[in-house]
Amino acid sequence: MTDAAELRERTRELLAAHPPATIGRRDFLEARFDAGLAWVHYPEGLGGLGAPRSLQAVVDAELEAAGAPDNDPRRIGIGLGMAAPTILRFGTDEQKRRYLRPLWVGEEVWCQLFSEPGAGSDLAALGTRAVRDDGGDWVVNGQKVWTSSAHVARWAILIARTDPDMPKHQGITYFICDMTDPGVEVRPLRQVTGEAEFNEVFLTGVRIPDSRRLGEIGDGWRVAQTTLMNERVSIGGMRIPREGGMIGALARTWRERPELRTHDLHQRLLTLWVEAEVARLTGERLRQQLSAGQPGPEGSGMKLAFARLNQEISGMEVELLGEEGLVYDDWTMRRPELVDFTGREAGYRYLRSKGNSIEGGTSEVLLNIVAERVLGLPAEPRTDKDVAWKDLSR
């Protein structure tokens, strides 16, 4: 079994054979993937060595100390955190070989075609249809919304209804959609910040070969649960250094502007600092638990904490700065690839954080998940679970 010492040796061999200072970034990342040091818990040949997930930190530390480039995980977060685990669990051998390597090295960006105008919190009510033609391909028609990175993505993970005669959680199938195919139209959604990092996507007669189906026909909801559980962990369980992220920006302002301090604000800052540190340590524990298997509903609790803290911290920063906190540099519509929380003004952080309780699962839905699946409380009565989707009122 691979241990920490062996991983250190493998990492040093990689660095010796492919010195980061003299080799291109893409070449180094591809060599790292091929050496099984991309995500060590993945199988051999797919960027891993079948090692415990917890040993990834050993590899990362060695590479960071050597100044090796990373794969820009924020830019390709949807691929890394959502598409890859789903492909690994449900994909065919051919799909794993085709998609995982270019995904990890950042050659291909992914997006997520799940939410719809009438199926956001109640995702299982989705109405995008996929109908199989005589040749075995699928023809997809519908609309998706709140799609991060769709304007830069090559591939998308997509769920569509393939059997409207089944109840809404059934009759759904999971696909991989080529965002460059005819019939895929991406339109920007301008946010309160002026940015348009989200999109709405229209699918009109988009043809998807059956070879790009993940899982069995009609089993898309179960496949999607893997994506959603990993999504909440990737958002709520991001590795953040001590006093990093939002709380770091607030603490920096506090230290640099002593004339703004009051006793009341000091007490609130201390409370938020402690809560941010508790959330950070809880995230570390959650990542340790992942070494035992797939993420569970506990990730929903972390995502809840992440959203609430970001909003409270950014709100306090605006209050601390007073009129300065309301200044915002530019309302011109921008199409960023990344959300920059810490490199912008306090006013930007305050406005952007409002989306944290909506994106990646609304806080209201996540509270139900925690109540039912973590605390074991009775589920809310639901009268539509056994009704055919086509018979539901919309």
Q: Are 345 and 193 in contact (CB under 8 A)?
A: no
In terms of Cα–Cα distance, which of 190, 198, 221 is closest to 145? 198
Tokens representing residue 160 in the block: 């569509």
Q: Give the whole-angstrom CA distance, residue 62 versus residue 159.
A: 39
Strands 110-113 and 155-161, by their bridges, are parallel
What percent of the chain stands above pLDDT 90? Answer: 62
State the distance between the two ends of the chain, measured CA to CA, in whole angstroms.
Answer: 54
CA angle 117, 120, 121 (to 5 degrees): 150
pLDDT at 359: 80
* The pair of three-digit structure tokens given for residue 189, joined into one six-digit string: 């959604």
Catalytic residue among 116, 195, 200, 231: 231
**pLDDT at 244 (0 to 100):** 77
Alpha helix segments (H runs only) across the chain? 4-17, 25-34, 56-65, 77-78, 84-90, 93-104, 220-236, 245-256, 263-289, 298-321, 346-353, 363-369
Token readout for 123 is: 């995702």
Look at residue 287 in the predicted model and tell me its pLDDT. Answer: 63
**What would the pLDDT profile of 167-190 be if each residue is shown by its tens digit?**
999 999 999 999 999 999 999 999
Q: Tell me the per-residue pLDDT of 119-131, one tens digit each, with 9 for 90 and over.
A: 887 899 999 999 9
Determine the pLDDT at residue 44: 95
pLDDT number for residue 46: 97
- CATH class, range 225-374: mainly alpha
pLDDT score for 375: 84
Q: 49-75, pLDDT tens digit by residue? A: 999 888 998 999 999 999 999 999 989
In the annotation, is 231 catalytic? yes
**Residue 3: alpha-carbon gap to chain centroid:** 29
Token reading at 321: 């700065």
pLDDT at 235: 56
* 293 pLDDT above the threshold of 60: no
CB atoms under 10 Å from CB of 352, counted, come to 20
CATH fold of 79-86+108-218: Butyryl-CoA Dehydrogenase, subunit A; domain 2 (2.40.110)
Percent with pLDDT over 70 in the chain: 93
pLDDT at 43: 95
Q: Reply yes or no on whether the pLDDT at 22 is more than 90.
A: yes
**What letter would DSSP give residue 388?**
B
pLDDT above 60 for 373: yes
Residue carrying structure tokens 């899982």: 215
Enter the pTM of the model: 0.86
pLDDT value of residue 391: 87
Closest CA to 252 of 143, 334, 333, 346: 346
For residue 19, the tally of other CB atoms under 10 A from its CB is: 13
Which pLDDT belongs to residue 220?
Answer: 98
Number of Cβ atoms within 10 Å of the Cβ of 159:
26
Domain ranges (residues) in the chain: 4-70, 79-86+108-218, 225-374
Amino acid at 236: G
CB-CB contact of 205 with 180 (8 Å): no
Q: Which residue bears the tokens 């997509």?
A: 158
Q: How confident is the model at residue 289 (pLDDT cuts 50, 70, 90)?
A: low
Whether residue 326 is predicted with pLDDT greater than 90 in this model: the reply is no
Given a cut of 70, whether residue 292 has pLDDT beyond it is: no
- 79-86+108-218 and 225-374 share one fold: no
CA–CA separation, 59 vs 130, rounded Å? 42
Q: What is the pLDDT of residue 309?
A: 93
- Residue 109, both tokens: 């960006």
Task: Kindly report, residue by residue over 79-128, the tens digit of the pLDDT.
Answer: 999 999 999 999 999 999 999 999 999 999 999 999 999 888 789 999 99
pLDDT above 80 for 286: no
Q: What is the pLDDT of residue 1?
A: 57
- Looking at every residue in the chain, the average pLDDT score rounds to 89
User: What is the predicted pLDDT for the residue at 115?
Assistant: 94
